[in-house]
Structure 1
Amino acid sequence: MRPCAFAIPGDHRQKTGGFIYERRLLEELQAVGRQVTHIALPAGAAAAEQSAALRREVSKVLEALPPDQPLILDGLVFAAMPPEALARLTCPVVAMLHHPMGMEQGLPADIAQHLLAQERTNLSLAAEIVVTSPHTRQTYIGLGADPARITVALPGHDGPRDLTRVEAGPRILSVGLLARRKGHDVLIRALARVADLEWTASIVGKIHDAAVADELALLIAEHGLGTRVALTGELPDAALAEAYRKARIFALATRYEGYGMALAEALCHGLPIVSCDTGAVPGTVGQAALLAAPDDPAAFAGHLRTLLLSQAARDELARRSRVLGQKLPRWKDTAAVMGLVLDGLRC
């Protein structure tokens, strides 16, 4: 097994889907005896806009890597690097991509277009590309990537599957960064439309965009949902697992997902799901979810109402969810896929 480096920006122990994926992949590669050097790049290396000094700092670190040592490069860093900087690297680059940075919600149009054009060029400079879902594979093929150089390594899930449910009333759980792409504003508006029913809701996730967090809090107050909808922030692992076990419905009104690790976690817990027909969501949740169009609170509310009122509908989706959850890979399986990519490189 050949040694390699894995460059990740900032604190790789952050509890977001992308960082969880890369941290667990790093740990599993090391656990099977691979010599993997973790390169902690500055957090700003993942930013859409960077100073010249920061770009020089990142380039200096990566250009020092030996030419015979593959580099697994975080997707945000990959997308943010100017093509000329990426081309100067002498080591083979394995791009670890979750979704195009230029497709992130809330970016100014000119910056989004620049990032997409830059990432399109960078794709030709990667020796191999690893993505988290078949949908993301097709997305990058659409951007011009060579299909023969793209490998899908689905995220792993190492927790227990199909745990005994803990009945705690009609609790609705949503898990995702407080970022515009996650659509929590749509969820709150949908919840306001089913306020005549009995339920409580928790939105779990760290603040990614303070303006979005403020807007969500204001929206909850405007709809008079302050005693029913909680913005819990980030939860410890044990508390989050307990929240999944006590939930009756998992709801994520996302505007786009490259995979949707929180959705997969809901499958592992056998939860019926309400989400949106966008990105990789249909491929992740299969027939275990009711899907609305993105940015459609009325349709989302209709699905919530169905599951809140119908035990039979909940039971059927929960059954499908458990079946899918049992089939999801473990992290060792994800690392095995990456290992095959690394061992197949020529350099």
Structure 2
Amino acid sequence: MTGYFVVPDSRVPSGGTTYNRRAGGRLRPVVVAGDWPRPDDAARAGLARALAGLPDGAAVLLDGLVACGVPEVVAPHARRLRTAVLVHLPLAEETGLDPAVAAALDAAERACLHAVDAVVATGPTAAERLAAHHGLARVHVVAPGVDPAPRAPGTDGVSALLCVASVTPRKGHDVLVEALARVADAPWRCACVGPQEPRHAASVRAAITRHGLDGRVELVGPLVGTRLDAAYAAADLVVLASRAETYGMVVTEALARGLPVVAAAVPDALGDGGWSVPPGDAVALAAALRRWFHSADDRAGLREAALRRRAELSPWADTTAGLARVLANLRA
């Protein structure tokens, strides 16, 4: 269907930006600049102008990063538009927020989500949590898709580890480094691919040095396109140590290549296709890695699980169709 998709002006590779780009279908993008979800006055005014410029009764999907922190901007326009908000991550769940800031964002998000006609989450677990936390009658689920990909050849089948995630506190690279230090006797190398928050990346590098892992754990920076494909192709195991996720698209991207996965906080993306460990638990993650390194039978079982899950994954066309259904059923 024809409608509008209000998205942040971001060129940083992330699951959210990929979802928005791939799932928008025929929706017309409305790009708004600003430091979302806590924009300055100029960004607020820019969003207000963008919404004011949309025709009465138009179907409008808003990225939650833009909408949820500014209900006072969104709510007046929600009365004349048919609106839905796509929540990639509840604002207060971002790791490291000052408690007062988190509480204010949480309250703003609740007001915004109650002002619009529909709320969309990217996975069943996230939808249930969002509905319960904010007292919403219903949250629609429209999961990310994944592109078919050839099986990753890997290296020796054991030692090449890959983590694809922004180097921020929520993604748990500090937990990953602590876990890797506990299995330092195994012959592994780990490439960490993703944009880097400077202060946190410096802390992770310090931990790498402190544990004597220089040269074994590398913070590669962001990769896209064929370079990211090459990183997946060279991996034997994908590891994600997130403290919180709403879906975890890198997991399905790995599984689409038949790559085994050990991950935290991604039950919907992982399904039965890998080993799940508790978020923030370096000891549990190290134990899973130790199984991987020391048991050929466990490695074979994990590869088989990945291949089974690979066959269950849905294409991006299903995501586009799901969003279109939500918008088509908004109030007349």
TM bucket (normalised to shorter chain) is over 0.9
Q: Map Cα deviations across residues 77-118 of structure 1 (whole Å, 9 max, x no partner).
A: 12111x232221021111011121111101110010111111
Which of 27, 42, 58 matches 2:33?
Answer: 42
Task: Give the deviation of 1:221 after TM superposition.
Answer: 1.2
> How well do the aligned residues superpose, as a CA RMSD in angstroms?
1.6
Give, in whole Å, the separation in 2 of the partners of 1:240 and 1:164.
12
What residue is the counterpart of 2:329 in the other structure? 344
2:212 alignment partner, one of 221, 224, 245 = 224
Distance 1:164 1:215, change over 3 A: closer
CA offsets 1:37-56 (integer angstroms, 9 cap, x no match)? 21110032x23x33223212
Residue of structure 1 in register with 2:45 after alignment: 56
Q: Which moved more, 1:288-297 or 1:217-226?
A: 288-297
Measure how far apart 1:275 and its partner are.
1.7
**Alignment map for 1:155-166 (pairs within 5 Å):** 155-160=144-149, 163=151, 165-166=153-154
> CA offset at residue 142 of structure 1?
1.2
Say whether residues 1:245 and 2:230 are aligned partners. Answer: no
Summarize deviations over 1:123-159 as a string: whole Å, max 9, x none: 11111112100011111111235344x2211101113
Other-structure match for 2:280: 295
Aligned counterpart, 1:191: 180
The answer to whether residue 244 in structure 2 is matched with residue 256 in structure 1 is yes
Residues 24-39 of structure 1 aligned to structure 2 (within 5 Å): 24-26=22-24, 29-30=25-26, 36-39=27-30
Q: Shift of the alpha carbon at 1:165?
A: 2.3
Contact kept, 8 Å, 1:287 with 1:317, in 2: the verdict is no
After superposition, residues 12-27 of structure 1 pair within 5 angstroms as 13-26=11-24
SS at match of 1:327: coil
The answer to whether the aligner puts 1:109 opposite 2:99 as a matched pair is: yes
Query: 2:154·2:236 contact (CA, 8 Å) conserved in 1?
Result: no
The question of whether the paired residues in 2 share the 8 Å contact of 1:120 and 1:144 is answered with yes
Distance 2:239 2:169 in 1: 16
* Residues in 2 aligned to 1:158 and 1:272: alpha-carbon distance in whole angstroms: 17
Counterpart of 1:167? 155
User: Aligned partners of 2:57, 2:260: CA distance in 1, in Å?
Assistant: 48
Contact 1:123 1:145 in 2 (8 A): no
| Alignment partners' CA distance in 1, 2:185 and 2:41 | 55
With over 3 angstroms needed to count, the CA separation of the structure-2 counterparts of 1:178 and 1:335, relative to structure 1, is same
How far apart, CA to CA, are the structure 1 residues paired with 2:122 and 2:231? Answer: 25
> Given that residues 188 and 216 in structure 2 are in contact (C-alpha distance below 8 angstroms), is that contact kept between their aligned partners in structure 1?
yes
> Percent same amino acid at aligned positions?
33
Name the SS of the counterpart of 2:134 in structure 1. coil
Q: CA deviation at 1:164?
A: 5.2
Amino acid at match of 2:33: P
How many residues get paired? 329
Structural mapping, 1:276-315, within 5 Å: 276=264, 278=265, 281-315=266-300
The aligned amino acid for 1:315 is: A
Counterpart of 1:33? none
Contact 1:14 1:20 (C-alpha < 8 Å) held by counterparts: no
Going from structure 1 to structure 2, the CA distance change for 1:186 and 1:153 (only over 3 Å counts) comes to same
What is the alpha-carbon distance in structure 1 between the residues aligned to residue 275 and residue 147 of structure 2?
Answer: 26
Picking from 235, 239, 258, the partner of 1:270 is: 258
Contact persistence 2:85–2:116 (CA under 8 A): yes
SS in structure 2 of the partner of residue 291 of structure 1: strand
Q: Does 1:68 align with 2:68?
A: no
Q: Which runs of 5+ in 1 are unaligned?
A: 31-35
Contact 2:88 2:122 in 1 (8 A): yes
SS at match of 1:6: strand
Report SS of the residue matched to 1:77: helix
Cα distance change of structure 1 residues 164 and 298 upon mapping to structure 2, 3 Å threshold:
closer
Aligned to 2:275, what secondary structure does the other structure show? strand
CA contact (8 A) 1:63 1:88 kept: no
Report what 2:67 is aligned to. 78
What is the deviation of 1:211? 0.6
Instruction: Identify the residue that residue 125 of structure 1 maps to in structure 2.
Output: 115
1:290 CA displacement = 2.4
SS at match of 1:43: coil
Question: By how many angstroms is 1:332 displaced?
Answer: 0.7
The offset of 1:214, in angstroms, is 0.8
- Where 1:173 maps in the other structure, the secondary structure is strand
Distance 2:21 2:135 in 1: 25
> How far did residue 237 of structure 1 move?
1.8
Q: TM-score, normalised by structure 2?
A: 0.94
- Tell me if the contact between 1:306 and 1:313 (Cα under 8 Å) persists in the aligned partners: yes
